[in-house]
């Protein structure tokens, strides 16, 4: 059941990241995307099956669409909004991974085994 929840959160993180990339050019789109992402990270419990898949998918999607397209264009421009979006992606990735349970703790059974 946890694997299915992780898969759903992976898809949800990627969809939220894509929507944020598409709308970040407008100030309200950037604010909406960041607020939705922060609210999701706060609402999801830390762990391998909840916050980590969402955050990694969100940051991965933003990173994927920040590179040059085949036509030579960029979806994430080199302006204030683009740099704020990329900075937010780094923060989301760090928070998602930093809140994972430490190996060897009593709740380590929620993710991959420490051994």
- Distance set, CA 10 to CA 43, 45, 68, 92 (Å): 15, 14, 24, 14
- The angle, 0 to 180 degrees and rounded to 10, between the axes of the packed helices 80-98 and 51-64 is 150
Instruction: Give 107's pLDDT tier (boundaries 50, 70, 90).
Output: low
Question: Whole-angstrom Cα distance, residue 19 to residue 16?
Answer: 5
What percentage of the chain's residues is helix, strand, coil (to nearest 5)? Answer: 65, 0, 35
Percentage of the chain surpassing pLDDT 90? 6
Q: What is the pTM of this model?
A: 0.78
| pLDDT tens, residue by residue, 61-88 | 988 888 776 776 666 677 777 888 888 8
Q: Are 34 and 67 contacting, i.e. CB atoms less than 8 angstroms apart?
A: no
pLDDT band at 57; cut points 50, 70, 90: very high
């Amino acid at each position: 059941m946890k694997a299915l929840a992780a898969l759903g959160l992976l898809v949800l993180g990627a969809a939220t990241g894509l929507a944020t990339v598409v709308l970040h050019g407008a100030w309200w789109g950037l604010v909406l995307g960041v607020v939705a992402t922060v609210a999701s990270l706060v609402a999801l419990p830390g762990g391998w099956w909840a916050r980590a898949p969402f955050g990694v998918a969100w940051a991965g999607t933003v990173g994927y669409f920040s590179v040059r397209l085949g036509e030579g264009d960029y979806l994430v421009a080199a302006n204030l909004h683009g740099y704020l979006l990329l900075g937010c992606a780094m923060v989301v990735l760090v928070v998602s991974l930093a809140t994972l349970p430490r190996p060897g703790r009593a709740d380590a059974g929620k993710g991959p085994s420490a051994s």
